[in-house]
Amino acid sequence: MGRYIARRLIQVPLVLVVVSLMTFLITRATPGDPVQIMLGMQTSKEAAEAMRKEFNLDRSLPEQYVLWLGKVVSGDLGRSIRLNDPVTTLLAERLPVSLQLAAAGMAFALLVSIPLGVAAALRRNSWIDYLCTGYTVAGFAIPNFGLALILIYVFSIRLDWLPITGIGTAEQLSGGVWTYVKPFIIPAIALGMLQTAILTRLLRSSMIDVLSQDYMRTARAKGLMPATVVVVHALKNAMIPFVTMAAIQFGYMIGIQVTIEYIFAVPGMGSAVLNAVVNRDFPVIQGFTLVIAAFFLFANILADLLYALLDPRIRY
Amino acid sequence: MSTASPSPAAPYRIPSSLALAARQFPRHRLALVGFVCLLAICLAAALAPWVAPYDPVQIKLGSKLKPPSWEHWLGTDHFGRDVFSRLIWGGRTSLSVGALVVAFAFTIGVPLGLASGYFGGRVDNLLMRLVDAFLTFPPLLLAVALVGLLGPDIQNVMLAIGLVQAPILARVVRGSTLAVREDVYVTAARALGARPTRIVLSHILRNVMSPIVVQLTVVFAAAVIAEASLSFLGFGTQPPQPSWGRDMSEARRFLADAPWMFMAPTGIIMLCVLSINFLGDGLRDALDPRAWRTRRRLADGEG
């Protein structure tokens, strides 16, 4: 186990180097000059040169990459060309926002998928099972921004229950939990819909699988309460693939927020990358993609660990 | 020999696996519905100049933000353009991006997956680490970044989505190739001295074709949603060209006054993706002989 974790952790920097190299090459191989975008067309040659020098853009490509990588190792992601702030400062602003949104989306996915998946598996071919199937099928088909617009239309415009833009901020916490949670509801549902569909389907099928096992019959024959049988014997086992999938999906959620951030004007990681791409803000693009990729990799490792932790049969 | 009795002379032609699958497919009712819907959407898009009742880009401010009526089935937008006509024309972009992405993913992903799965070893390791690196990028963000860097142009949209989907397909193909690599017929072909290219192309490819086809429907659905997302964010189709995603983005400003403006594109995207998903499910069953027997038993007594 320890050796397996160590091996996986050693791979992380390797994959990150490949990822950063790819980002680097893509940004440099495509047209667009950050300095020109930043300073505009009418600047003097000297000013442009000075700026290029400042951001090492006058050096050869291998030099640029090695310089950047060297700084990253010591925790310095460089400075934004556009905003002139350190990339780490920007990250400190954006990452918590994205994490909150991702957590809200995942919370919604778990809240819906666990009861729905279990109920559908227990009552196969009943109305709840059909509801579950319909829900997952729709969840796979609807684009999250379309769902967001529908929810805004119904709950913000028609019913006027929920705010149209923004998500909760830490300051709102002083106004009570509800003021903080309220703005999260629509973005969370829109963002978590696909994950809900994936997780519900997974839990339903793994529940059905577990329910047909011999030990379920034994548990029932022992005269255990039906609720105990379902929760302790069935759900606990069915949760193993579920938890792993939830961890993997959580790793994805930071990266798929772009459209939701765009609709709700949320200053998250996605919109930062979007702006950086438009402005060719190389340090920001590289720094942010690195963090997003690292987040995804660690979520995957966490998924593997949870798998081994929950299922004693699995040994790495 | 009499013609009535089953004669050994009358050759019984074993139906090809494709013919069997074609016979199997319509049994999956939802898949058939999906197929028909998708066909209808494709035809409407292809025949847009004849099917669409109005010009999709012509501005008529006199009839702006009109709710659905007999004249305008799905209402009009803020420039007085017919929403229904824009949906039909917008389908051209979405569906052609979908088709091109499928073609792109196929030409890149399948050879890579086959090579990786069949040859294994160092080739496999190198290719799969590359795929891993690609897959650590969130797909949509990667596509947005690529289009943002290359410029918002339909070819770049296609390329960006294709580059995101190809590695996923490659991984699926690799997995299936690994599964059949050690099958008896492959060993037999190898023992007969067939060259690797021949083994891969005429023995392995044939047998991993069904997961490929099923995955391609997934790719198509993902491409339709990705194109809509990119256009929604302003990185895809540019106005005034009709586009499902772009039109939804415009509709955001008129949520209260003209809800049909966002509902129509949302609905058509859902219908399109649902149809593709059902089609994929049907193909999965039709192409997998193991799934036939149970279905047959359940459906009717026909042999």
Task: Give the separation between CA B237 and CA B224, rounded to whole angstroms.
Answer: 13
Task: Give the separation between CA B25 and CA B29, rounded to whole angstroms.
Answer: 8
Phi/psi at A86 (nearest 5 deg)?
-60, 140
A251 contacts A227 by C-beta, under 8 angstroms: no
What is the arithmetic mean of pLDDT over B160-169? Answer: 90
DSSP state of A152: I
CATH no., domain B91-291: 1.10.3720.10
B45 contacts B303 by C-beta, under 8 angstroms: no
Q: How many CB pairs under 8 A join A and B?
A: 122
> What local confidence, expressed as pLDDT, does residue B38 receive?
92
Specify the residue for token string 């606990």.
A236
Answer yes or no: is pLDDT of B43 > 60.
Answer: yes
> What local confidence, expressed as pLDDT, does residue A14 receive?
85
For an interface test with A, give the residue of B129, B134, B135, B136 to mutate (most A CBs within 10 A).
B136
What is the arithmetic mean of pLDDT over B77-85? Answer: 84
Residues of chain A positioned with their CB less than 8 A from the CB of B146:
26
Exposed, middle or buried, A1 (CB in 10 Å: 0-12/13-18/19+)?
A: exposed
> What local confidence, expressed as pLDDT, does residue A148 receive?
92
Predicted-complex ipTM score? 0.84
Per-residue pLDDT tens over the stretch A51-82: 777 777 778 888 888 888 888 888 888 888 88
DSSP string for residues in A263-289: HHT---HHHHHHHHHHTT-HHHHHHHH
Which of B141, B225, B265 lies at the smallest CB-CB distance from A270?
B141
DSSP state of A42: T
DSSP state of B25: G
DSSP state of B200: I
Share of chain A above pLDDT 70, in %: 96
> What local confidence, expressed as pLDDT, does residue B301 receive?
41
The CB density around residue A23, as the number of other CB atoms within 10 Å, is 22
Residues of chain A positioned with their CB less than 8 A from the CB of B129:
14-15, 18
Per-residue pLDDT tens over the stretch A224-268: 877 778 887 888 888 888 988 898 888 888 877 888 988 888 888
The CB density around residue A83, as the number of other CB atoms within 10 Å, is 17
pLDDT classification of B300: cutoffs 50, 70, 90:
very low
**Nearest CA distance, A84 vs chain B (angstrom):** 21
Q: Where are the domains of chain B?
A: 91-291
Residues of chain A positioned with their CB less than 8 A from the CB of B229:
143, 145, 258-259
3 state SS of B50: helix
Phi/psi at A79 (nearest 5 deg)?
-115, 150
Q: Cβ separation of B232 and A262 shorter than 8 Å? A: yes
pTM for the model:
0.85
Residues of chain B positioned with their CB less than 8 A from the CB of A293:
136-137
pLDDT classification of B303: cutoffs 50, 70, 90:
very low
> What local confidence, expressed as pLDDT, does residue A164 receive?
76
Residues of chain B positioned with their CB less than 8 A from the CB of A258:
140-141, 144, 229, 233
Give the residue from B263, B245, B243 showing the smallest Cα distance to B254.
B263
Per-residue pLDDT tens over the stretch A137-194: 899 899 999 999 999 998 888 887 877 777 766 666 677 777 777 788 889 999 999 9
Phi/psi at B76 (nearest 5 deg)?
-125, 160
Question: B149 versus A103: which is more confidently predicted?
Answer: A103
